[in-house]
A and B are shown apart, each in its own frame.
Chain A
Amino acid sequence: MTTAIPSPNLSLAHSKEFILSLEGVNKTFDGFQAISDLNFYVDDGELRVIIGPNGAGKSTMLDIITGRTRPDTGKVEFKRDTDLTRLNEYQINRLGIGRKFQTPSVYIEHTVFENIWLSLEGSRSVWSTLFSRITPAQRERLQAVLTTVGLSDQAEWKAGRLSHGQKQWLEIGMLLAQNPKVLLVDEPAAGMTDEETHKTGELLHSLEGKHSIVVIEHDMTFVRQLARKVTVLHQGHVLCEGSVDEVQNNERVIEVYLGRKKKA
Chain B
Amino acid sequence: MATQRYFRYPQPQSRLMTRTFSKRELILILLLALGGLVVLPGLNAFVPAASALHVSSFTLSVYGKYLTYAVLALGVNLLWGYTGILSLGQCLFFSLGGYALGMYLMLMIGKLGQYKTDIPDFMVFLEFVTKYPATGGLPPHWIPFKHFWFAAAMVVTVPAVVAYGFGWLAFRSRIKGVYFSILSQALTYAACLMFFRNDFTFGGNNGLTDFKFLLGYDINAPGTKRVLYLCSAGLLLLTYLFCRWLTSTKFGLIQRAIRDSENRVLFSGYATADFKLFVFVIAAIIAGLGGALFVPQVGIINPSEMSPEKSLEAVVWVAVGGRGNMLGPILGAIGINSLKSYATHAWAEEWPYILGFLFIFVTVFMPKGIIGLPAQLGEIKRRYRARQQPTAVPLAPENAPPVSSEGAGE
Contact = CB atoms under 8 A, between A and B. Distances in A.
Interface of A: 66, 89-90, 93-94, 98-99, 101, 105-111, 113-114, 117-119, 124-126, 129-134, 139, 155-156, 158, 160-163, 171, 174, 178
Contacts of A134: 10-11
Contacts of A114: 16-17, 253
A106 B249 CA distance: 19
B388 interface: no
Interface residues of B, number: 35
Interface string B391-410: 00000110111001000100
**What are the nearest 10 A-B pairs in CB distance?**
A133-B10, A93-B269, A129-B251, A129-B250, A105-B264, A107-B257, A113-B16, A160-B399, A94-B269, A105-B261
Given A130-B249, A160-B400, A161-B397, A178 B269 contact: yes
A110 B254 CA distance: 10
Contacts of A111: 16
Nearest to A154: B410
A111 B16 CA distance: 8
B28 interface: no
Nearest to B252: A129
A66 B269 CA distance: 11
Interface stretch (B45-53, B271-279, B297-305): B271-279
B24 interface: no
A139 B400 CA distance: 26
B266 interface: yes
Contact of A109 (B10, B256, B408): B256
Given A110-B253, A126-B251, A66 B408 contact: no
A33 to B, nearest CB: 25
B5 interface: no
A173 to B, nearest CB: 12
Interface in B356-410: 396-397, 399-401, 404, 408
Nearest to B272: A90
Given A90-B271, A163-B397, A126 B278 contact: yes
Nearest to B254: A129
B107 to A, nearest CB: 37
19 contacts: A90-B272, A94-B269, A105-B261, A107-B257, A107-B264, A108-B399, A109-B256, A109-B401, A118-B250, A118-B257, A119-B268, A126-B278, A129-B251, A129-B254, A130-B246, A130-B251, A155-B16, A158-B400, A160-B397
